[in-house]
Amino acid sequence: MLNWHGYWMSVMEMPFSSDEYREIAASATSDLRKLLNLPVDYHILFLQGGAYAHFALLAMNLMGNIAAADYIQTGHWSTRAIYEAKRYGQVNIAASAEPAGFNHIPPIAEWRLDPAAAYCHITTNETANGVQFHWLPDTGDVPLVADMTSDFLARQLDVSRFGLVYASAQKNVGPDSPSSLSATACSISTWISRRPYSITACRRGMTLASIPRRPSVYTLPVLSLHGCWRWEGWLWCGNATDKRPRGCMP
């Protein structure tokens, strides 16, 4: 980190607009695309603020003229997402495990989805309540959006089933930082006819190579190194043949 690839400077000294740093960002994006097996029509955005900022960003960007979205309430973090989304539009709690104390994922038969909703939001792993999705819901033509902060890259995933997935990178693929980085993978079609908002607009991030503003310059190279480490086969948490205890490093 003190002498990045012979440039005789730390990544924290590099201008984020320099060719050297853009090479780092491109490498991080490429590594993450490989790990996710990302379809070609999906973008990766590295945005500051962490997943919590996305609770508001999603509603600001995706509700658009529809101004309504479905949310599945499964615990603390989905409840926080609902609270933020209500600031920007109508939230339909299509299913909730609150009456049972958030001790399970409501079965799909109990979901009351709105076919006209802008998107359907789930939290794949509620760490505060100890419940996790072990199946992916079919939401039809409504884009499925998932907060995967606590289990991002912890298992193999068919990203094409989602309109958008997002996660705070410091959980599984990078270091924590004063302004946490959020890794977001989203389909181009998810943003069609939506209403973007200036610096929080995900569509704007797509056109600016995922750097619409000054990035977290230390986090991206660590994420890239971590991606290379996983891609080379050291550890894949979702691999059924990997029986090492949790937290065991090679």
* List of residues 6+ apart from 81 with CB closer than 8 A: 55, 58, 71, 121, 123, 147
Beta bridge partners of 95: 72
Give the position of tokens 């991606």.
227
Tokens of 98: 């609150």
Pick the catalytic residue from 31, 70, 171, 191: 171
- Grade residue 180 by pLDDT with cuts at 50, 70 and 90: very low
Instruction: Provide, rounded to the nearest whole percent, the portion of the chain with pLDDT above 70.
Output: 68
Output 20 or 110, whichever has higher pLDDT.
110
Cα(206)–Cα(28) distance, integer angstroms: 15
* List of residues 6+ apart from 98 with CB closer than 8 A: 73, 79
Domain ranges of the chain: 41-231
- Cα–Cα separations (whole angstroms), residue 35 to 5, 217, 231: 23, 21, 7
The whole-angstrom distance between residue 229's C-alpha and the CA centroid of its chain comes to: 20
The mean pLDDT value of the chain amounts to 76
pLDDT for position 67: 81
Which of 44-53, 175-184, 225-234 comes out lowest in average pLDDT? 175-184
Give the mean pLDDT of 131-137: 94
Pick the catalytic residue from 31, 70, 77, 191: 77
Q: What is the pLDDT of residues 203-216, one digit of tens each?
A: 444 444 445 455 66
Q: What is the pLDDT of residues 12-52, one digit of tens each?
A: 777 777 777 788 778 878 888 888 888 888 888 877 776 77
Which of 9-18, 100-109, 174-183 comes out lowest in average pLDDT? 174-183
Decide: 81 and 49 in contact? Cβ < 8 Å.
no
Active site residue 34: no
Pick the catalytic residue from 4, 147, 151, 191: 147
Active site residue 229: no
CB neighbour burial string for 50-86, b if at least 16 within 10 angstroms, e if fewer? bbbbbbbbbbbbbbbebebbbbbbbbebbbbbbebbe
Output 229 or 58, whichever has higher pLDDT.
58
Give the mean pLDDT of 156-173: 80
Give the mean pLDDT of 156-181: 72
* Angle subtended at Cα 26 by Cα 41 and Cα 221, rounded to the nearest 5 degrees: 130
* pTM reported for the whole predicted model: 0.79
Active site residue 31: no
Give the position of tokens 């495990």.
97
Decide: 127 and 161 in contact? Cβ < 8 Å.
no
Second-level CATH architecture of 41-231: 3-Layer(aba) Sandwich (3.40)
